[in-house]
Amino acid sequence: MKFKKFVTRKFVKIAGLFLILILFSGCLPIQPPNNQAKLAEDFTLPALEGGYFTLSEHFGQPILLYFFSTTCHYCQEETPNLVKMYNTYQSAGLLVVGVAVNVNSLQELRNFVENYGITYPILIDEDEEVSESYDVYYIPHNFFINRDGEIVDDKVGLMSEAELEEQILDIL
């Protein structure tokens, strides 16, 4: 008899929890679908070569916004592919923009740019405000922005050349 009471109480508790979950599930925030684009947040950062770069001034062309660090192994591995993609698709309007985070020294950043033959703009996010506004917690982190200034996709971690090219073709 005790066993039956125990099982009945357990069942009632579990059923009650289920009911509560069902009732309150309508209160949970609804996540937008992953394929829904949102406007890229505008920012202005200093460029390594001098002057300032404002993202919104480049809306109208496809942009690959790339957050990286010179000391990140995966960033070092991905950079040659980015250089290749930029050189291949620059004539089609592609703009690759590198945003350097965790910069130890400007000379180290210049050496990185020179060693990899980077010709696209490199920006310095010294206070990491832009990284925070884009929710960049891991690098490399790529944002693919279409001609309307909308982020259509973002990828965290090392991307192969083929993966980069596929994403770039989607925004061209």
pLDDT of residue 37: 74
pLDDT of residue 22: 44
Domain ranges of the chain: 1-30, 39-171
pLDDT of residue 130: 98
As a whole number, mean pLDDT of residues 16-35 equals 43
As a whole number, mean pLDDT of residues 47-76 equals 97
pLDDT of residue 50: 96
Number of neighbours of residue 99 by Cβ within 10 angstroms = 26
Contacts 24+ apart (CB under 8 A), 34-41: 35/152, 37/146, 37/148, 37/150, 37/151, 37/152, 38/150, 38/151, 39/149, 39/150, 39/151, 40/65, 40/143, 40/145, 40/149, 40/150, 40/151, 41/133, 41/134
As a whole number, mean pLDDT of residues 7-17 equals 55
Question: Residue 105: is its pLDDT beyond 60?
Answer: yes
CATH architecture of 39-171: 3-Layer(aba) Sandwich (3.40)
User: pLDDT digits over 31-61, tens only?
Assistant: 344 556 799 999 999 999 999 999 999 999 9
Mean pLDDT of the chain: 87
